[in-house]
């Protein structure tokens, strides 16, 4: 049976935790509600995580469990977090089992980086107090299948706009450069990742409102450049390069 591996990279998370099989406990009851104090608001119970993550990339997971002070014994509420593991449990004859990740008293907040080494869907569940488990899943995808691609969308009008998007197959430095047409005047220009180089010779000596954008980007990261301008007749060609290697190109577009 295929074994799904995972890495939990927080010493706090494992402190005082057992790795005993929990087959003897009640199975998932998705609709069950945790047993907490009436004064506790539902929003105070938080399971904050990304439902879709990339294989081999660390993602943040935070669990906040409310502390109940009501009840006959005025004790904290017990909390529990488990992940479903495919493999051989040394303490059980079963191949698949729920492994204890965290167990303790309420009022506890735990944040950890998790890195999943294999693509797939991982089942997780947690409960607060004597209520049943609440279940959820984490989908791990292969994010390495991006391609080098540059796109330019021109909107014409009294005030014109150019929106460029670019993604790279591999991480590294990138330069995106291009121009408008003669007579255009830029009102605003910004990028979510790259920095505009206003002092480059190709910009300073241009009469076609050339802009140059530089910076380091991650693989599959979406880079955007938004320019608003007036005048001119559209845009010239644009390119995305790493050194002398061209990774993307768009042809000129006219507003006529």
- Average pLDDT in the 110-126 region? 79
- Residue 103, in any domain of the structure: yes
CATH code: domain of residue 127: 2.60.40.2950
Judge if 105 and 160 occupy the same domain. Answer: no
Q: Which domain holds residue 63?
A: 6-141
Judge if 107 and 183 occupy the same domain. Answer: no
| pLDDT tens-place string over residues 52-90 | 888 887 777 776 766 544 445 545 556 677 878 776 555
Q: CA distances (Å), 222 to each of 49, 114, 165, 168, 226, in order?
A: 21, 23, 7, 8, 13
Judge if 184 and 120 occupy the same domain. Answer: no
Residue with tokens 């509600």, as numbered in its chain: 33
Structure confidence at residue 176 (pLDDT): 98
CA dist 215 and 192 (Å) reads 11
Judge if 137 and 158 occupy the same domain. Answer: no
- Residue 1, in any domain of the structure: no
SS3 204: helix
Domain count, the chain: 2
Judge if 135 and 110 occupy the same domain. Answer: yes
Judge if 13 and 115 occupy the same domain. Answer: yes
Judge if 128 and 170 occupy the same domain. Answer: no
Whether the per-residue pLDDT at 45 is higher than 60: the answer is no
Structure confidence at residue 213 (pLDDT): 98
CA dist 36 and 155 (Å) reads 55
- Average pLDDT in the 234-249 region? 96
Q: What is the DSSP letter of 77?
A: P
DSSP 31-65: T------TTS-GGGSEEEE-SEEETT--EEEEEE-
CA dist 208 and 48 (Å) reads 48
Structure confidence at residue 225 (pLDDT): 98
């Amino acid at each position: 049976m295929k074994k799904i591996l995972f890495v939990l990279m927080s010493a706090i998370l494992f402190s005082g935790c057992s790795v005993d099989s929990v087959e003897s406990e009640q199975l998932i009851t998705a609709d069950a509600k945790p047993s907490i104090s009436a004064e506790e608001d539902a929003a105070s119970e938080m399971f904050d995580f990304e439902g879709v993550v990339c294989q081999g990339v660390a993602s943040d997971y935070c669990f906040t469990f409310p502390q109940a002070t009501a009840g006959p014994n005025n004790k904290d509420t017990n909390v529990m977090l488990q992940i479903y593991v495919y493999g051989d449990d040394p303490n059980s004859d079963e191949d698949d089992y729920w492994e204890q990740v965290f167990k303790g008293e309420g009022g506890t907040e735990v944040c950890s980086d998790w890195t999943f080494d294999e693509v797939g869907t991982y089942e997780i569940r947690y409960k607060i107090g004597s209520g049943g488990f609440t279940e959820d899943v984490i989908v791990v995808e292969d994010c390495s299948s991006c391609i080098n691609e540059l796109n330019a969308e021109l909107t014409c009008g009294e005030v014109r706009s150019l929106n460029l998007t670019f993604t790279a197959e591999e991480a590294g430095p990138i330069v995106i450069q291009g121009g408008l047409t003669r007579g255009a005047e830029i009102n605003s220009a910004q990028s979510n990742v790259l920095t505009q180089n206003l002092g480059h010779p190709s910009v300073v000596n241009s009469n076609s409102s050339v802009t140059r954008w530089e910076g380091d980007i991650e693989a599959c990261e979406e880079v955007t450049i938004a320019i608003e301008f007036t005048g001119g007749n559209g845009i010239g060609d644009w390119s995305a390069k790493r050194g002398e290697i061209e990774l993307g190109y768009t042809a000129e577009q006219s507003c006529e």
